[in-house]
Structure 1
Amino acid sequence: MQDRVPARAHAVITDSTGRPIGTVTSGGFSPTLDRPIAMGYVTASHARPGAPVGVIVRMVQREAEVVTIPFVPHRYHKG
């Protein structure tokens, strides 16, 4: 999410033209990243890292970006 308003479950994810392409499954504020984060499902054609998307929060389309998970890299060693 590009601004400080977190998306919540069932928020609509849109493409750059405002057409619905998916749904948020969960979202909230990340104290580690100091910004909102959300997870959801989008169509396969939009599921690439760096793809710009919109999320409708409080009846306003907010800018967001598709990223890979985990949002914060882990710091443990698998051995």
Structure 2
Amino acid sequence: LPEIASGAPSVRVGLKPEGRAPMREGIDLYESEAGGEPVGRITSGGFGPTVGGPVAMGYVPAEQATPGTRLYGEVRGKRLPVEVVTLPHVKQSYKR
């Protein structure tokens, strides 16, 4: 009931990693490039051929779910920037 009244503490968001390296399931998300505790986690990700680059989805705190928010995903010991984007990653081009 508290979540219905005040909203969920974490939200599923689309993520667009910078560069060409895909970020897969289980990668922790951080607020800063160095130090700190994880604030979220990637639940799925890979290469998006329509987007022409890597795409991912994950859960972050509601206050960091605004499109354009910059977070960092730790891949092989190095933190790489990701941007919160709206879902779906590609606008629909068909009519219902």
TM normalised by structure 2 equals 0.76
Post-superposition offset of 1:34: 1.3
The match for 1:70 is: 88
Tell me how many residue pairs correspond in the alignment.
78
1:3 aligned to 2:16? no
Post-superposition offset of 1:76: 1.2
Post-superposition offset of 1:77: 1.2
5+ residue gaps, structure 1: none
More helix by share: 2
**Between the two proteins, what is the percent identity of the paired residues?**
41
TM normalised by structure 1 equals 0.91
Work out which of the two has the higher radius of gyration on C-alpha atoms and give 1 or 2.
Answer: 2
Which residue of 63, 75, 81 corresponds with 1:57? 75
The match for 2:48 is: 30
5+ residue gaps, structure 2: 1-16
Task: Quote the RMSD (CA, aligned, Å).
Answer: 1.1
Q: Distance in 2 between matches of 1:71 and 1:10?
A: 20
Counterpart mapping for 1:39-58 below 5 A: 39-58=57-76
Runs of 4+ residues over 4 Å off in structure 1: none
1:12 aligned to 2:50? no
Post-superposition offset of 1:16: 2.4
